[in-house]
Chains A and B, each alone.
Chain A
Amino acid sequence: MQPMLRTEALSVGYGASPLLAGIDLAVAPGQIVTLIGPNGAGKSTLLRTVAGELAPLGGVAYLSGRRLEQLSDRERALELSVLLTERLRTDLMTCEDVVETGRLPHTGRLGILSPDDHEHVRMAMELVGVWGYRANDFMQLSDGQRQRVLLARAICQEPRLLVLDEPTSYLDIRYQIELLCVLRRLVTTREMGILMSLHELPLARRISDWVVCVKDGGITMQGSPEHVFVPEVIDALYDLEPGVYDATTGSVELPPDVR
């Protein structure tokens, strides 16, 4: 089947010199692809480029077989939606208002939602379990609830590719697991792909179908979780002392001299 996203020798970055170069990756329908790597490696920059926020500095990215830069803003919005890390500050917006902004690419000139649009909003909010809060002001919610509302926003946009930048930041372990369960349910029930960056290695190992290691200006390795989450790869990716990453638990141990 045609991949949702495919990049060929993509270079990304701000200004003239690329932060990452030679990026070849693909996201197929029903697949969760996760970027891991140290802070500042360029994961967010890569995601911003794929989402059309930054122009590629070289190479090509295809969304459902069409070149990214040839899509209009609206066409791209019908293919791809995002969930960002940044904290939002809204004024007099209910959770439903926030979710409804995800339907705007489907609406006409004035952005008025049809009954069908409202139905999509309701389904997305029920899927992530925030329908009960629909009349609450967005600012009253906890970080975890806000993140779920924003996920409902991204889902009701009906994208074929969902791009998430560190979706589990600010979330406690319970919400992290809940969020990832929703993502897994999404890719299995709808024909969509997910590309995201994650810091939590144990979670990345459980949720991902494919893992991409980003470091030193490019992709150092990519493969299935079984191949990536081995001590040699993780130690090299994060410059860890040998023995710090425990492959059987997927978690991190303190170095022997500290223990």
Chain B
Amino acid sequence: MRLERRTEGSADPLAVRRERVCATFALLFALLLVAAALNLCLGSLHVPLSDLMTVLLGRDRSSTYYQVIWSIRLPRLVAAGLLGGSLALAGLLLQTFFNNPIAGPYILGISSGAKLVVAATMIVVVGGSGILSSWMLVLAAFVGSMLAMAFVLAVSQRIRSASMLIVAGVMVGYICSALTDFLITFASDAHIVNLRNWSQGSFSGISWADVATIAVVIAPAAAFAFALSKPMAAYQLGERYAQSVGVNVRAFRVALIALSSLLAACVTAFAGPISFVGIAVPHIVKRLLGTSRPLVVVPASFLGGAIFCLACDLIARTALAPTEVSISAVTALFGAPVVIAILLGRQRRVD
């Protein structure tokens, strides 16, 4: 069978692609705006859209609306956006590293590793001195994610099969989650009020101070990830071709691991483990863009992750109000089918 040539006619493929990329970014920004507005307005206290601007501009500081939006919903919204974007980026970096479209911080057990060390730190430190800064949380989570990552890397040295790697990661995740549960049960201390909620994944209770810490960690990490666009483009053809066009493969791989661990750790420190965002979002975003070019996929994944988490958090808060569903339950509900779609798509290509 001879392949039909797609380039006949006048349309320049480069121009067509540029239009599609611009349209996708416009769509993502519009969705982000809608998701943000809905998150601010909806909830146990309904804020009419007409009042939202007044509140955001801070004209009437005494109103209940002002209190709810500025001290609860807005920090939560900003945190969910930043952490969601981080998860999607962490997933994209891990997919690049393992050359596997279903790699992600949750499925490889990295989030659960962070969760275990954070829970242990909380119990030891809160039980002892009682003071735990958000920086210590991030540090503990980073240590945990690096430990889990070290284990996954050791396994990946021994087995070459991509699917076995995922299975090993899932097992690491189970072990860490089980140990976390033991810790929480034994340390049923009055100090540890939110530990159980947090260990299921939730954006609730995030303060402006937390948001500041999150932004300070994530902004440079995300900028660094964007700066890796060029070696990532080379790495799309595999390690050897990347090396042949001048990529220092060893340094690049270290950067991928460190960045993805840091991003996933930051998310886990503040919101607990959140599943499937890292796999689903980069996959959807690439299909929307029609290309896997890292220069556009990296920023689009961050935006997409923010939108996905805002939408999922809205559902988690409002679906069974006043009870909150764990955020991970919602992201899994929408994210896991994407993984199945990826697997089916790969199977079709093999056939």
Residues of A within 8 A of B (CB): 51-53, 72-78, 80-82, 84, 86, 88-94, 96-98, 101-102, 104-105, 107, 109-112, 118, 132-136, 139-142, 145, 153, 157
Q: A88-B238, A92-B290 are in contact. Are A73 and B13 (CB under 8 A)?
A: no
**How far, in whole Å, are A104 and B246 apart by their CA atoms in the complex?**
8
When the two chains form their complex, are residues A105 and B245 in contact, meaning their CB atoms are under 8 A apart?
yes
When the two chains form their complex, are residues B240 and A88 in contact, meaning their CB atoms are under 8 A apart?
no
When the two chains form their complex, are residues B243 and A53 in contact, meaning their CB atoms are under 8 A apart?
yes
Closest to B230 in A: A111
When the two chains form their complex, are residues A102 and B245 in contact, meaning their CB atoms are under 8 A apart?
yes
User: What are 12 of the A-B contact pairs (CB < 8 Å)?
Assistant: A73-B243, A74-B246, A82-B241, A88-B237, A98-B237, A105-B245, A105-B246, A111-B295, A112-B295, A133-B7, A134-B7, A145-B3
When the two chains form their complex, are residues B240 and A157 in contact, meaning their CB atoms are under 8 A apart?
no
Q: A53-B240, A104-B246, A132-B5 are in contact. Are A110 and B13 (CB under 8 A)?
A: no
Q: Chain A's nearest CB lies how many Å from the CB of B137?
A: 33
List which B133-153 residues lie within 8 A (CB) of chain A: none
Determine the chain A residues whose CB is within 8 A of the CB of B237 once the complex forms.
88, 90, 98, 101, 153
Determine the chain B residues whose CB is within 8 A of the CB of A86 once the complex forms.
238, 240
**How far, in whole Å, are A145 and B1 apart by their CA atoms in the complex?**
13
Is B156 an interface residue, CB under 8 A from the partner? no
Determine the chain A residues whose CB is within 8 A of the CB of B3 once the complex forms.
133, 136, 140-142, 145
Is B286 an interface residue, CB under 8 A from the partner? yes
Determine the chain B residues whose CB is within 8 A of the CB of A93 once the complex forms.
236, 291-292
Determine the chain B residues whose CB is within 8 A of the CB of A75 once the complex forms.
246
Closest to A108 in B: B230
Closest to A72 in B: B246
When the two chains form their complex, are residues B13 and A92 in contact, meaning their CB atoms are under 8 A apart?
no
Interface Cβ pair total, 8 Å cutoff: 104
Q: Among A53, A76, A134, which residue has its beta carbon within 8 angstroms of that of B246?
A: A76
**How far, in whole Å, are A243 and B88 apart by their CA atoms in the complex?**
64
When the two chains form their complex, are residues B290 and A82 in contact, meaning their CB atoms are under 8 A apart?
no
When the two chains form their complex, are residues B247 and A139 in contact, meaning their CB atoms are under 8 A apart?
no
When the two chains form their complex, are residues A73 and B248 in contact, meaning their CB atoms are under 8 A apart?
yes
Q: A104-B233, A110-B230 are in contact. Are A139 and B349 (CB under 8 A)?
A: yes
**How far, in whole Å, are A24 and B227 apart by their CA atoms in the complex?**
41
Q: Chain B's nearest CB lies how many Å from the CB of A159?
A: 9
**How far, in whole Å, are A111 and B229 apart by their CA atoms in the complex?**
7
**How far, in whole Å, are A92 and B240 apart by their CA atoms in the complex?**
20
**How far, in whole Å, are A90 and B234 apart by their CA atoms in the complex?**
12
Closest to A80 in B: B244
**Given A51-B244, A111-B295, A133-B7: 5 more A-B contacts, CB < 8 Å:** A73-B246, A77-B246, A78-B246, A86-B240, A110-B295
Determine the chain B residues whose CB is within 8 A of the CB of A90 once the complex forms.
236-237, 292
Q: A76-B246, A90-B236, A111-B229 are in contact. Are A84 and B6 (CB under 8 A)?
A: no
Q: A84-B240, A111-B295, A132-B7 are in contact. Are A94 and B13 (CB under 8 A)?
A: yes
Determine the chain B residues whose CB is within 8 A of the CB of A74 once the complex forms.
246
Determine the chain B residues whose CB is within 8 A of the CB of A94 once the complex forms.
13, 291
A110, A118, A140 pick with most chain B CB within 10 angstroms: A110
The 8 closest A-B pairs by CB, nearest first: A111-B230, A77-B246, A74-B246, A135-B13, A92-B292, A135-B6, A73-B246, A132-B5
Q: Among A101, A136, A142, which residue has its beta carbon within 8 angstroms of that of B234?
A: A101
Closest to B240 in A: A84
Is B113 an interface residue, CB under 8 A from the partner? no
Q: A91-B101, A92-B286, A93-B292 are in contact. Are A133 and B245 (CB under 8 A)?
A: no
Q: Among A78, A91, A97, which residue has its beta carbon within 8 angstroms of that of B286?
A: A91
Determine the chain A residues whose CB is within 8 A of the CB of B233 once the complex forms.
101, 104, 111
Determine the chain A residues whose CB is within 8 A of the CB of B101 once the complex forms.
91
Determine the chain A residues whose CB is within 8 A of the CB of B292 once the complex forms.
90-93, 97
Determine the chain B residues whose CB is within 8 A of the CB of A51 once the complex forms.
243-244
Is B293 an interface residue, CB under 8 A from the partner? yes
When the two chains form their complex, are residues A104 and B227 in contact, meaning their CB atoms are under 8 A apart?
no
Q: Chain A's nearest CB lies how many Å from the CB of B91?
A: 14
